[in-house]
């Protein structure tokens, strides 16, 4: 009998796989979807704190009238950078982190379709973030008048603006790569028997979001490239003196920008649609209508961009089209809110932290939705455009919307990710403090806006002082509360009670194990079995 050949000789080149890299190299070279999901989530939290410090500096300056802490130019840079960091650095990577962690497990796939591209799409983010933040220190900084960086102002800025444009390019490339990966994974790697209409709602929302990203990210890349050539190569896309049109920038930018706000909210809908059935102990009400509503929102989001431009000079017919189109989005959104409410109706509800954040999400997101309908009405929008009313509106949608859903998802899946239960009492404190301070910060901004306080200004008239002081106190409270979240997560990772096999005992574990679409009796009492 021949001797068994030596293991090292047989495997030769594959021998490295017996000793996977550890430490830093493990994270740099990982192709594991869970590791990459973890990287995205930590990156997004670091950027969230970074953007939060900028926001607190803004609110500290606005605590009372006059110039106290920062000069006006730096104040403008802070508003620009706060928006870009929160949108591209905090909210979007957090949702991609959830997608990486959950989608393969939810559809029964071994990993993402393109594992190495997955690694690359994450590692594009840190250098882009570095470029974005170091543009602060370049000549001219990044003070381009808010995250929308409209020309002609953005054409006249220093090299910091070029750094910002380059950073946006890299961030956009990362998003496109991640989206292609998600689409391919969902369409090609589902477990046998899992048809599209049996996928969990979170997977559906991400599939639709990924298509939106692939559609609109190249548009953003195009418009910042045109801006770059205007700045450095003598073109006149947006320069009126050379025959260009600054309003054209707004059209192209918002064709990206409006679907972008839905890119930041659709995965939230998916998370909430997972959490609410679990803690209501019922299947999601109206599953198929949820899928169609999500798709409708995505399609409609591409034809309403100019509602951001009602004051830029537009024919009345155009104003009417964009006004009615915007109001139409309220219909599928209303379907979703109805379905979540119907899911909870007569369910055996319990109020663990993920459920609290989900209910808080619905309650506050609806307020943001109503103020959005107000902004859609042209004569009103002309009055509140560029005031704090708009600030209040989109923070209700993006903070109590996207961010609260991220918290709900984090608490919901932490036991699965870490093997430990988080501290429920501290989680509830995090929710209630966030809820209180969030409303303290942003609700009064509706009144400021209706009274006429413009956005992006470091100084203001004395009549706005009281509400600004309340808003700043709320902002600092909200910021400090997020450190509690960091503590809860770290405490959970380091130990805590061991998570049982089904952490939410008595709850339905995964939505797609239930009959789908949901049985007809979900809204009434279950039929009596004879």
Nearest residue to 171 via CA among 10, 50, 40: 40
> Is 402 tagged catalytic?
no
Query: Active site residue: 333, 353, 400, 471, which one?
Result: 333
Query: Active site residue: 150, 206, 262, 417, which one?
Result: 262
d(CA 261, CA 399): 12
Give the CA angle between residues 126, 131, 133 to the nearest 5°.
95
Query: Active site residue: 169, 282, 307, 395, which one?
Result: 307
> Is 111 tagged catalytic?
yes
Task: Tell me whether the omega of the peptide bond preceding residue 517 falls within 30 degrees of 0, making it cis.
Answer: yes
Cβ neighbour number for residue 53 with a 10 Å cutoff: 13
> Is 504 tagged catalytic?
no
Residue-wise DSSP of 305-342: GGGGGTTS---HHHHHHHHHHHHHHHHHHHHHHHHHHH
Query: Active site residue: 33, 169, 308, 395, which one?
Result: 308
Query: Active site residue: 33, 59, 82, 420, which one?
Result: 82
Alpha-carbon torsion angle 101, 41, 422, 346, nearest 10: -60
130 Ramachandran zone, left/alpha/beta (phi>0; psi -120 to 50): alpha
Question: DSSP letter at 265?
Answer: T
d(CA 346, CA 525): 8
> Is 174 tagged catalytic?
yes
Query: Active site residue: 190, 258, 393, 420, which one?
Result: 258
d(CA 121, CA 43): 13
For residue 368, CA distances in Å to 7, 298, 418, 445 come to 63, 18, 34, 12
Query: Active site residue: 30, 154, 175, 434, which one?
Result: 175
d(CA 514, CA 501): 19
Query: Active site residue: 185, 273, 441, 472, which one?
Result: 273
> Is 308 tagged catalytic?
yes
d(CA 443, CA 466): 13
> Is 273 tagged catalytic?
yes
Query: Active site residue: 260, 352, 381, 511, which one?
Result: 260
Query: Active site residue: 169, 190, 282, 336, which one?
Result: 336
Query: Active site residue: 34, 281, 455, 508, which one?
Result: 455
> Is 82 tagged catalytic?
yes
> Is 455 tagged catalytic?
yes
Catalytic residues: 82, 111, 147, 174-175, 258, 260, 262, 273, 307-308, 333, 336, 455
């Amino acid at each position: 009998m021949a001797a068994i050949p030596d293991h090292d000789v047989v495997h030769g080149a594959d021998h490295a796989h017996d000793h996977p890299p550890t430490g830093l190299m493990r994270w740099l070279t990982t192709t594991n979807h869970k590791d990459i999901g973890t990287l995205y989530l930590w990156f997004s939290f670091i950027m969230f704190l970074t953007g939060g410090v900028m926001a607190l500096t803004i609110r500290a300056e606005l605590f009372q009238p006059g110039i106290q802490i920062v000069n006006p130019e730096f104040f403008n840079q802070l508003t620009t950078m706060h928006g870009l960091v929160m949108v591209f650095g905090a909210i979007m990577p957090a949702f991609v982190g959830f997608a990486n962690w959950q989608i393969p497990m939810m559809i029964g796939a071994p990993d993402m379709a393109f594992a190495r591209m997955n690694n690359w799409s994450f590692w594009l983010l840190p250098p882009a973030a570095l470029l974005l933040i170091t543009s602060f220190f370049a000549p001219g900084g990044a003070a381009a008048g808010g995250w929308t960086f409209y020309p002609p102002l953005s054409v006249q800025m220093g090299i910091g603006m070029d750094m910002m444009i380059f950073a946006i390019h890299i961030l956009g490339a990362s998003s496109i790569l991640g989206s292609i990966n998600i689409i391919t994974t969902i369409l090609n790697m589902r477990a046998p028997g899992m048809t599209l209409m049996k996928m969990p709602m979170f997977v559906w929302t991400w599939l639709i979001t990924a298509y939106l990203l692939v559609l609109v990210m190249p548009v953003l890349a195009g418009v910042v490239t045109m801006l770059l050539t205007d700045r450095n190569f003598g073109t006149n896309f947006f320069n009126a003196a050379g025959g260009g049109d600054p309003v054209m920038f707004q059209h192209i930018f918002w064709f990206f920008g409006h679907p972008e706000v839905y890119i930041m909210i659709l995965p939230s809908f998916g998370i909430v649609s997972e959490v609410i059935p679990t803690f209501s102990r019922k299947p999601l009400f109206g599953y198929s209508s949820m899928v169609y509503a999500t798709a409708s929102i995505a399609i409609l989001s591409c034809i309403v961009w100019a509602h951001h431009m009602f004051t830029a000079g537009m024919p009345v017919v155009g104003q009417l089209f964009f006004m009615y189109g915007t109001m139409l989005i309220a219909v599928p959104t209303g379907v979703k809110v109805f379905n979540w409410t119907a899911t909870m109706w007569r369910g055996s509800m319990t109020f663990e932290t993920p459920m609290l954040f989900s209910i808080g999400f619905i309650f506050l997101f609806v307020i943001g939705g109503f103020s959005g309908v107000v902004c859609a009405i042209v004569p009103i929008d002309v009055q509140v455009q560029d005031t704090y009313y708009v600030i209040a509106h989109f923070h209700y949608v993006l903070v109590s919307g996207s961010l609260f859903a991220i918290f709900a998802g984090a608490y919901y899946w932490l036991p699965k990710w870490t093997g430990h239960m988080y501290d429920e009492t501290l989680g509830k404190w995090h929710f209630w403090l966030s809820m209180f301070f969030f409303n303290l910060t942003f609700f009064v901004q509706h009144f400021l806006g209706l009274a006429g306080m413009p956005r992006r200004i470091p100084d203001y008239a004395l009549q706005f002082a009281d509400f600004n002081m309340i808003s700043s106190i709320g902002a600092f409270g909200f910021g400090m509360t997020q450190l509690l979240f960091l503590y809860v997560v770290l405490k959970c990772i380091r130990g805590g009670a061991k998570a049982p096999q089904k952490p939410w005992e008595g709850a339905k574990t995964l939505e797609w194990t239930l009959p789908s679409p949901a049985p007809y009796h979900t809204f009434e009492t279950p039929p009596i079995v004879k």
